[in-house]
Structure 1
């Protein structure tokens, strides 16, 4: 199946408010076709991880049979948090693309999704795929209606985005306080979380996605897939296991006939970024979800 690719802006806020769009030259006619929206990781701050990180995964996916059900794929960039200590590309305090603080990241992601929904009219017929902090952002999209009162007046909540049918969290971060606590011996972890969310740990807890009343927030969600490699050296299995348990406590079932399904896919032999650098295993997981939703 043939696709064309282009990078376009979804906002004028900064040079990073853009997305890479992959559209089929002959769009599927079925009402059951679906969109894919990918959210890059990079600890909310890494300038070298971009929307292109999903290119290998997309290439594998588009050479497989599920591609015939895809109406479009978008891979998102968004404003990054400060990283003044980056060894080769330190952020400048004057760069609007690299001084974001929560909820700027999720506001950008919601703005991009709303841009796509308005233009292509796919509503909730899409799958969100997020890697690392992109997984946090993916679940924050679904959590959008469940934010605490401190965010009630933010631009993020004013964006009328329809949440997806399914979310695939890949090497994800789901509980910020326990994540920082686990890696207390490595200051970098606390550093990038503080750059993204500030020092108030109550904000970290509020921004986390493990303990959410999905019945209230994400009423139409049908499937969650947690993908994690046992050989990830940056994010341990404690994060996906935390999310898996929390989903179960909220009524998500791991059987095929469940109305709200959860799956845990454990990979081996791949480090944190190698999951998207290789892309083959991830493309297989995405293809299976497309099959179940179409």
Structure 2
């Protein structure tokens, strides 16, 4: 698992992956359609290891955090996962930044491992002695997501396991949340792309060089990808996908894009890489490694 910040630079814009923690998942429960015997190289000691973190985008004078990781919790879901976080603010401090330096927080979606630092209270499900948050962690920042995502988790999916806690997340955000749409610009070269499927309002963040000097872009994928197995086997799905067919269609479109670096925060051996066509499938190549020969 990456323990140090990873960074790539496009023109004058940098994208840095900041680690918060890690989860150990039962692969059969998490991605049941995968032939894990044929994909054992994606496992560590028979476990699917998924890091948690945030992407820090520095574009012009803007500092943007994409997702807020797991937060200060140590949670076990019997038969499914053991998740532990809490390092994000230290990772941010290692970049010379404090929470007050962040201008915008972007939520790709509101699953618990992407919202943990919304307030100073991690959204621990069914906590025996729940604490009331004292305020937003990134109090000076805009907090943005799609309207469809907000409506889903405050409507039909309110209170579902794996989603946002009402006290720790929803109530603190309800008076400050801003909604963004497909194509909206957050900073020079930083745009929103709606990628619904994993959740009804899931989004991605696409980073280009606003000067046009560099053709390559970075696609911050949220939960379109959890493991390289989803790149090699494009028909597999994740257990928490709300609309698996739509996820697969969106994922396939991303894999076919030229000049694209995928930023996948749950990947164990490098958060940044490229999908290289190999026959009728793809292989994942972390940045700094040569493509696998087909």
Q: Normalised by the shorter chain, which TM-score bucket?
A: 0.3 to 0.5
Task: Output the TM-score relative to the length of structure 2.
Answer: 0.35
Task: Output the TM-score relative to the length of structure 1.
Answer: 0.35
**Structure with the bigger percentage of helix:** 1
> Which structure carries more relative contact order (alpha carbon 8 Å, separation 6+)?
1
